[in-house]
Structures are given as structure tokens and as C-alpha cells.
Amino acid sequence: MNALSVLDGFRDADLAKRLKARIDRLGEVIGRDILIMHVCGSHEWTITHHGVRSLLPERVEVRAGPGCPVCVTPAADIDAAVDLALEGKTILTYGDMSRAKGSKQSLAEAKTLGGDVRIVYSVHDAVKIARSRPDGEFVFFAVGFETTAPATAYEILQQPPSNLRFLTSYRYVPSAVEAVSRSPDLRVDAFINAGHASTITGMKAYKPCFDECRKPMVFSGFEPLDVLISVAMILTQIRDREPKMENEYTRSVTWEGNVKAQETMMKAFDLREGYWRGVAMIPNSALDLKPEFSHLDARVHYGLSKSGESAEFVKNARCADVIIGKIDPPECPLYMKECTPASPLGPTMVSSEGTCKIWADHRIVSAMRCRI
Amino acid sequence: MCLAFPGRVVSIDGDFARVDFGEGTAREGINVSLVDVRLGQYVLVHAGYAIQVMDEKEAQKTLSYWREILAYEEESELPSR
């Protein structure tokens, strides 16, 4: 058996048409505007790439919320990484992260100024590089959500080489969903929760948030039919006035999640208040290194201050509103004018999970369903 | 960033495995220490680490469940209760 052939079923055109018919009927019965928010860059890619929005009824909207780790990494953290690179340390990080600007530059620009910046595919590559060059001084700029943090925790617990330190900006999605659900200006009716972040935490991590907001929450996979099924599930809940936590991505998400990964993650990190770039300080939303690993913490070793709110985006840019899901990219005055994938001005136009970048890469499809 | 791909574990050596992603793509050195996986099972791989053992049967179940629901509804044409 081949896993990939099973997944082909989630791209079946006939099933998609029938799901669309059901969604249309549910939309008619509900008879009001429905705003569904997802919180994952990979969901935005699936939805935009496959034109899922064009299949939804006029009054049912699916919008991207804060689901792009690179986009929410504070400018102050990028600035700190740039400064370290320019001081002669070797910065190791993921490709997308190297192109996002802080308040001044990106790491890619620091490289053109002589800084040593290297792209890695995984934290294990960072460990291997540091180990192979004992004379060098390395900093792994560790960004991502709880999907990525367990791997870094694993390497930290394996005693990485002493010439490698970690500048962490890990963020925890359940706390962001809670913050969005409480926001009075967003009026979100339901959530499509992130399939891979929830694979780690399990559905249980969202229970307190669900109990408080009582909004439909569907944990969804990443094939186009996964999203259509999730929308159908949400609309059924709304029609029946029975909000639930429901699992569409049963092949990967469970109620308990990956307990082994959770335990590994929480051996290395503590949940603390964290700043989401352009959004807000959110309680329990940053995975910070535990005090016993302070010898590996680049902030401690190099005396960097804890990232706070700072000047975040260029003038007139509406990156913050795109990140939080208040607007779609074309509502930003700079979108595809001053700010393009070739010369991005904000992180949402840089990262492959940034909403602006995804919309720009799919301009024809995304224009089919734009609210302005 | 949270991109993850399913692949089949074709060999395991301690914490590391060789994973076949199909269509001629296989990778050595996938870290499988965060999951309990056996040879031949499918894992979801994110940035070099397996984050879950995938349940293929669940994928089939999701599809057949929805085919059934839709067939029933199409027959009875009842969007409301």
C-alpha cells in the first residue's frame, strides 16, 4: 500500500462537487454571513492553490489568521540575529526566516554585508555543522510552532556541542486561537484548527478555549477535500446550533496528541508570555528555554534582552491586520505595488506561509474571491 | 513551516530511519525518536523529524464516511433536520 495513493482520494473531483452542493445547501439554510478562520499557512496554501474559496457560497468566508511562524517572529529577535551575524557568529536558520526583515535588515541582507548566515533544513543539521567546526561560534535561530519545537527540544536534551547556542522564538498556537476568539473586532464564527500543530498537542489543548468561546472547531488535514469536509462539518454544527470540537484529520490528529513529543518539548521549554509580531503580547504563547538550559540560551550568553514590542512594519503596511486575519492582502495599500514577492516589505510577503506571498503567487485564483 | 509529508519507514537504525516518500523520493536520517514506529508504517515527517505515525485506515474511513453521508443526503435531499 502506498500512503500517497490513499491521499489521492482527497483530491477526487466528483466528491468535491458533491461536497460543494452540500455546503451550498447548508449556506442557504443558515442564511447569514459566516466567517471561518484557519490558523495555518499550509491551510492557506491549500485553500488558495486549489481555489477552494471559489467553491464556497457568497456568504461563507474562510480567512487566514495567525498561522505563519516567520510572520509572527518579533522584529527584535530578527534584529538580535542580524547583530550576532554581523559580530562574527554563524547564524543557522530556515530559509524563509533568513529573508524576513527585522526593524532594519534581514539575515539574508546581513550575509551580503559579510555576516555568516547558513540555511538549514532541520535543527539536526545545525548540530552537525557546529560539531564539525569546534572552533566556530554558532547560533541556531529557532522559530516555529509546537510542530517544530519538539525536535529542537530533542537535540537540546541530547547535549548539543558547546559552541552552538539557541535563539528561540517558538510560539504556541492554542494560546493564539484563544486570543483571536476573544477579539471583539474579528467576529469569527468558527475555527479550522491547524492539523500539524494539533498532531503534537492533541485536540485536548484547545478544550479550555472551546469551553470559553463555544465556537465550532474542526481539526483539519491539508488536502483540498480535507478543507471542504471541514467547512461542511462547521456549517452543519452552525445549522444545528451545536458547536463541537470535531476531528476531520483523524489519520494524524488524536485527542491526546503525540504525548512523547509533548513530553520532550516540555522538558526543554516553559510556556511563557510571548509577543506575536504586530499582534499582541499573548499569555502562555511562547516556548522559552527552561532555566536549566540557560547555558545554551543565546539571549543569556550574549546578554540580549527578551523580545518585546517594537517598531514592527514599514509605514502604511497592513501586515499586522493580515497576520491577525482582519483583512485580505489586497486591502493593504502596498500589496503588489511597493510590496511584491521580488521586493517584499513585510514578512507576510516573504514566507511561503505568509498570506500575502501565497496570494501573490496565485494572483488569478485569489482575485476570484476578494472582498474588495 | 508546519509542512509535513507522509512517507513509509523502510529501515530503522536506532533513532534514525530511511523513509520512502514515494515517486522515487527517499531520505536517510529521518529522526524517529518522537514517535513509536515499526518498519513498514507510515510517518508524517516535518523538518527531518517524524511527528506522527499515520493511520492509513483512518484516511479511508474519512472518505467512505463522507461518500455515505452525501449519498444519503442526495437521496433524501434534506439539508435541514
Average pLDDT of the segment spanning B28-48: 96
Give the nearest partner residue to B67 out of A15, A21, A70, using CB atoms: A15
A-chain CB neighbours of B33 within 8 Å are 154
Residue of B nearest to A17 (CA): B70
pLDDT tens by residue, A116-148: 999 999 999 999 999 999 999 999 999 999 999
Whether residue B62 and residue A250 make contact (CB cut-off 8 A), yes or no, is yes
Q: What is the sign of the dihedral through the CA atoms of A80, A82, A84 and A86?
A: negative
Percent of chain A with pLDDT over 70: 95
Alpha-carbon separation of residue A313 from A77, A93, A104, A320, A347 (angstroms): 14, 22, 10, 8, 9
Residue B42 contacts A where some CB pair is shorter than 8 Å: yes
pLDDT tens by residue, A210-269: 999 999 999 999 999 999 999 999 999 999 999 999 999 999 999 999 999 999 999 999
Q: Is A312 exposed, middle or buried (0-12, 13-18, 19+ CB in 10 A)?
A: buried
Whether residue A15 and residue B2 make contact (CB cut-off 8 A), yes or no, is no
The yes-or-no verdict on residue A74 having pLDDT over 70 is: yes
- The enclosing H or E element of A139 equals strand A138-144
pLDDT tens by residue, B2-25: 789 999 999 999 999 999 998 889
Look up residue B2 and give its amino acid. C
A-chain CB neighbours of B80 within 8 Å are 29, 239
Assess if CATH 3.40.50.11750 describes domain A3-69+174-247: yes
Nearest to A206 by CA among A181, A238, A184: A181
Map out the domains of chain A as residue ranges.
3-69+174-247, 70-171+259-301, 321-361
Exposure string of B58-68, with b = 16+ CB inside 10 Å and e = fewer, is: bbeebbeebee
CA quadruple A228, A229, A230, A231: dihedral, nearest 10:
50
A-chain CB neighbours of B73 within 8 Å are 22
The yes-or-no verdict on residue B46 having pLDDT over 50 is: yes
Record the cell numbers describing residue A128, joined without a space. Answer: 552537525
The yes-or-no verdict on residue A1 having pLDDT over 50 is: no
CA distance A205 to A208: 7
Give the nearest partner residue to B79 out of A18, A25, A42, using CB atoms: A25
Q: What per-residue confidence (pLDDT) applies to B80?
A: 53
Tell me whether strands A280-289 and B5-13 are parallel, antiparallel or unpaired: unpaired
Residue of B nearest to A235 (CA): B79
Q: In what order do the strands lie in the sheet with A245-247?
A: A60-64, A34-38, A190-193, A217-219, A245-247
pLDDT tens by residue, A297-339: 999 999 987 666 666 899 999 999 999 999 999 999 999 999 9
Q: What per-residue confidence (pLDDT) applies to A363?
A: 83
Q: Is residue A26 classed as helix, strand or coil in its secondary structure?
A: helix
| Residue given cell 543557522 in the structure block | A92
The CATH class for the domain spanning A70-171+259-301 reads alpha beta
Q: What per-residue confidence (pLDDT) applies to A6?
A: 80
Identify from A28, A252, A350 which residue to disrupt to test chain B contact, counting B C-beta atoms within 10 A and taking the largest count. A252
In the DSSP assignment, the letter for residue A141 is E
Record the cell numbers describing residue A136, joined without a space. Answer: 566556530
CA distance B74 to A12: 18
**Phi, psi (degrees; rounded to nearest 5) at A154:** -60, -45
Residue B65 contacts A where some CB pair is shorter than 8 Å: no
pLDDT tens by residue, A174-183: 999 999 999 9
Give the nearest partner residue to A261 out of B29, B34, B79, using CB atoms: B34
Q: What per-residue confidence (pLDDT) applies to A2?
A: 47
Q: What per-residue confidence (pLDDT) applies to A145?
A: 97
Higher pLDDT, A84 or B1: A84
Q: What per-residue confidence (pLDDT) applies to A312?
A: 80
pLDDT band at A371, cuts 50/70/90? very low
Tell me whether strands A34-38 and A190-193 are parallel, antiparallel or unpaired: parallel
Side-chain-side CA neighbours of residue A161 (13 Å): 20
Q: Which of residues 106-135 of A touch B (CB under 8 A)?
A: 121-125
Q: Is residue A178 classed as helix, strand or coil in its secondary structure?
A: helix
B-chain CB neighbours of A95 within 8 Å are none
CA distance A226 to A210: 21
Q: Which of residues 11-30 of B touch A (CB under 8 A)?
A: 21-23, 29
Residue A353 contacts B where some CB pair is shorter than 8 Å: yes
B-chain CB neighbours of A42 within 8 Å are 2-3
Please give the domain boundaries of chain B with CATH numbers for all domains: 5-76 (2.30.30.140)
Alpha-carbon separation of residue A368 from A48, A92, A355 (angstroms): 10, 39, 16
A-chain CB neighbours of B17 within 8 Å are none
Sequence-separated (6 or more) residues with CB below 8 Å from residue A213: A178, A181, A182
Sequence-separated (6 or more) residues with CB below 8 Å from residue A19: A225, A228, A229, A232, B66, B70
Residue of A nearest to B7 (CA): A3
pLDDT tens by residue, A42-61: 999 999 999 999 999 999 99
CA distance A249 to A229: 10
Give the nearest partner residue to A150 out of B2, B34, B60, using CB atoms: B34
Residue A259 contacts B where some CB pair is shorter than 8 Å: no
| Residue given cell 500539524 in the structure block | A196
The overall average pLDDT reported for chain A is 94
Higher pLDDT, A278 or A115: A115
Domain A3-69+174-247 identical in fold to domain A70-171+259-301: yes
Residue B10 contacts A where some CB pair is shorter than 8 Å: no
**Phi, psi (degrees; rounded to nearest 5) at B22:** 85, 170
Query: How many angstroms away from the CA of A144 is the closest CA of chain B?
Result: 7
